[in-house]
Structures are given as structure tokens and as C-alpha cells.
Copies of this chain bind each other. A is one copy, B any other.
Amino acid sequence: MGSVTSLTCVVCSAHYIERPGLYTCPSCGDLATLKVSYDYEAVRKVMTRRTLDAKPLVDLWRYLPLLPVREVGNLMSLRVGGTPLYNAPGLRAKSGFPDLWVKDDTINPSGSLKDRASAVTLLKGLEMGYTEAAVASTGNAAASLACISASMGVRCHVFVPAAAPKTKLAQLAIYGADVITVQGSYDEAFKLCIEACEEHTWYNRNTGYNPYTVEGKKTVSMEIVEQLRWGTPDTVIVPVGDGCILSGVWKGFIDLYRLGFIDQLPRLIAAQADGSQAIKRAFDGDGVIRSVEVDTIADSLAVSMPRNGTMAVQDLRASKGMAVVVSDEEILEAMKLLGQTTGIFGEPAGVVSLAALLRLHAENNISTKERVVLMVTGTGLKDVDSALKGFST
């Protein structure tokens, strides 16, 4: 099963019932994301800690009653989610955090956490009657939609800035997506994608726009809780570009909390590159997202005007969390440290969580006694040129 009961605007708190064509809040505009709620009483009747414990953790469809899609059927063949949570003894020793965990989402089918969102939104779009889908993306979301669409036999259209890394462009070609290369920024690609979706009646998977991407991404937190045997981490450190993964992570914990499956919530840390810190500035300031100049090696985090910024800042505050920025040098050092102590090769945007942990530690903003989960969100194989920069000195 799985069914949406309502959508709430994070800006004006207006409620809506789901319908095709409803993405952000019609009265507040493009940057007012909608939050999805369920009938938790109904969910509890079909999904409990016991029913979950009885099933091996293979993929994210175990959470179907808490997802906005009715059924999975034969459409979905790739394994999405069900990624490992590592105890990483080498990194624990080296960092001095004995209760540190690494959630490795690099092994999703297209190599990033975005597959969770692509799988859920694509099924949702098909249930709503759409036959084709589209996305604007700096790379990972596009590669992910292309990958999942190919596996389902669905045509997809991706709008990418011409500057996207070559590997991500190669993925699009291999998966057979219709690629629209935009001579401009991510923000311009985003705008073009919205217009094209309206014109051609394509389902729009844009991050921070389609309300169901958060629902797909939240499954990562549910897995973490199950992998910790229904334990809540003290702190979860999340790479943050437009803030959609952070809101997904928070939504996962909130849903489990509302269901009564956990009785504590974690503190979230938003890890940003200092060359792309719109959410950090809003969080430390008045909460209003303003466009920033962007310059970072972490291409997946490079967002001038975060689409999901408002929701992310709200969620960060609700978790009593904070935002941390790190330099490109710290990111490259973290990439090496992660590889050398765990055997996980993350992309720059994927390892900013580890860089943030080290920064928090150096600034005495975290206790080594905490149970900390680092989210590693994308594989380094997609951006080898950046990785090699860490060795040029």
C-alpha cells in the first residue's frame, strides 16, 4: 500500500491533497517545498518494528507503507537502498570516535543516494499517469533518473549544465537518456526543465521541487535506525547542497518517531563547502535563503540558490543542529582519509561529512563519546580528476 494523506507548504502551512501537477505551493511559489504526511495510524496497522525485523534488509521497498506509492510490482528491477552501515574500525581509531558509523550510499545502482529519490518519484509519476519524466541536475540526479528510467523502460529527459563532470555525462549516454545540455548554470537548467515539463506533460523529478524526492531519501535514515537495532544516533552529518538530502534524512527520523518506533531524534549537521554555503548563512542568520557565489570542487554541492533551503533550515533547527563549512582542501583530505581507513572512495560532495566531523572535533563542537553517523552520498569513481587533485601537492 502506501498512500499520501496531505501535503503541507513549509512557508505558509497551507494543506493540499496530492494531484498531478502539484509540486511546490501554488500560492507561495517555486521555493516553497511541500512536506508529505501519512495516516500514521493506518501505517502502524501494517508495519511495525516486528514486521520489519522479520524481513531481511534488501532494499528500500520494505518501507512501502510509508512511501507515496501504492505498489512496486514488476516495474522495479534494480536494487535501490539496502546499503551497508559500516562500523569502520580503521576510521574509528584514526579519528578518535569509537562509536562512528559510515552509511555507504555509493553502491546504489547509479552510484549515489539519489537513486532512492528517482525510484520513488518515478513510480509515483507512473501511478499518476505520466509516461515520461525529466530532471535538471548538476549530474548525480540526472544520472540517477536516467539509470532508474532505463531499468523501467521509461523515457527520460535530463537538463544538465555543460560543465558537469565527464563521467556523469557518460552515464547519461550509456543509460540512453535524452540529454539537453544547457549553456548556463544549474539554476537555468532548472528553469528550462520546469517549462519543458509543462509543455510536454513530463513528470518533473526536480530536487527541492518534486515533494516526493524527500520521501525517497528518507529511507536512508530508516535503514540506519534498523541497522543500529532501533537505535537513534546522537549526530548525523549530511552533505548539503540544495538541502534535499538533509530534509530527507530528517523526515525519515520524524516518521519513525511519529510511528513510535524510536523515542529520540538525532542532531543533524549540515556539511557544506565554504564555496557554496547558502544554507549555512541562512541558518546562522535570519533563516532566509539568499543566493551565493559558488566555487567548490564538490560539484554536487555547488548550488547558488538552494531549492530546498527553507525546509532544510527548518529541519536543521528542529533537530537542534548546526551548519559547518569546510574548504576544498579539507574535502580532498577527507577523501583520502576515508579511502585509506575504510576502502570507500567517495566523491568530493560525498565525503564532506567526514571533513565536517574533523572540523567539528577541532573546534570542540562534538564529543568523541557521541554515536555519529557519516553519510557518504556518491562514489568518487564519477569524478576522478578531483580525487587526483588531492595528490598534486
Chain A residues close to B by CB (< 8 Å): 56-58, 74, 77-79, 84, 86-90, 107, 109-111, 146-153, 166-167, 170-171, 173-176, 335-336, 339-345, 379-382, 384, 387-388, 390-391
CB distance from A220 to the nearest CB of B (A): 16
A174 touches B78 (CB 8 A): no
Which residue of the partner chain, among B86, B341, B388, contacts A170 with CB atoms under 8 Å?
Answer: B388
How far does the alpha carbon of A77 sit from the alpha carbon of B85 in the complex, in Å?
A: 10
For A87, what are the chain B residues with a Cβ–Cβ distance below 8 Å?
77
Can you name 19 A-B residue pairings with CB atoms under 8 Å? A77-B342, A78-B84, A78-B342, A78-B344, A90-B151, A107-B109, A110-B343, A111-B381, A146-B343, A147-B343, A149-B343, A150-B343, A166-B388, A167-B381, A170-B380, A173-B388, A173-B390, A174-B335, A174-B339
Chain B residues with CB under 8 A of A170: 380, 384, 387-388
Cα of A56 to Cα of B57 in the assembled complex, Å: 9
CA distance A380 to B57 in the complex (A): 27
Give chain B nearest CB distance to A281 CB in angstroms.
31
Roughly how many angstroms separate A166 CA and B381 CA in the complex, as a whole number?
Answer: 10
- Are B86 and A78 interface neighbours, CB within 8 A? yes
Which B residues are CB-close (under 8 A) to A387?
170, 173-174
Residues from chain B with a CB closer than 8 A to the CB of A175 are 339-340, 343, 345
Q: Chain B nearest CB: distance from A321 CB in Å? A: 28
Q: Is the interface of A mostly helix, strand, loop or mixed?
A: helix
Indicate how many identical chains form the complex: 2
Which B residues lie within 8 Å of A173 (CB)? 336, 387-388, 390-391
The answer to whether A84 and B79 touch across the interface, beta carbons within 8 angstroms, is: yes
Min CB–CB distance A107 → chain B (angstroms)? 5
Q: In whole angstroms, what is the CA distance A147 to B107 when docked? A: 14
Contact B107 A89, beta carbon cutoff 8 Å: no
- Closest Cβ of chain B to A331, distance in Å, is 13
Contact B381 A339 (CB under 8 A): no
| A84 neighbours in B (Cβ, 8 Å) | 78-79
Instruction: Look across to chain B and name the residue whose beta carbon is closest to the beta carbon of A340.
Output: B176
CA distance A336 to B219 in the complex (A): 30
A174 touches B340 (CB 8 A): yes
Q: CA A145 – CA B182 in complex, angstroms?
A: 40
Bound complex: CA A77 to CA B88 (Å): 7
Chain B residues within 8 Å of A152, by CB: 90
Of A56, A107, A343, chain B has the most CB atoms within 10 Å of the CB of A343
Closest to A90 in B: B153
Q: A111-B381, A335-B174, A380-B174 are in contact. Are A342 and B90 (CB under 8 A)?
A: no
List the 8 closest pairs (A to B, CB-CB), nearest first.
A56-B56, A151-B343, A176-B340, A174-B339, A381-B381, A147-B343, A170-B384, A150-B343
Residues of B within 8 A of A388 (CB): 166, 170, 173
Please, which residues of chain B bring their CB within 8 A of the CB of A150? Answer: 90, 339-343
Inside 8 A of A86's CB, which chain B residues have their CB?
A: 77-78
With both beta carbons as reference points, the residue of chain B lying nearest to A109 in the complex is identified as: B343
Whole-angstrom CA separation of A218 from B288 in the bound complex: 57
> Whole-angstrom distance from the CB of A79 to the nearest CB of chain B?
4
Are B384 and A166 in contact, CB atoms less than 8 angstroms apart? yes
**Are A336 and B174 CB-contacts (below 8 A) given A56-B58, A74-B89, A84-B79?**
yes
**Residues in B neighbouring A74, C-beta threshold 8 A:** 89
Tell me, rounded to whole Å, the shortest Cβ–Cβ distance linking A11 to chain B: 36
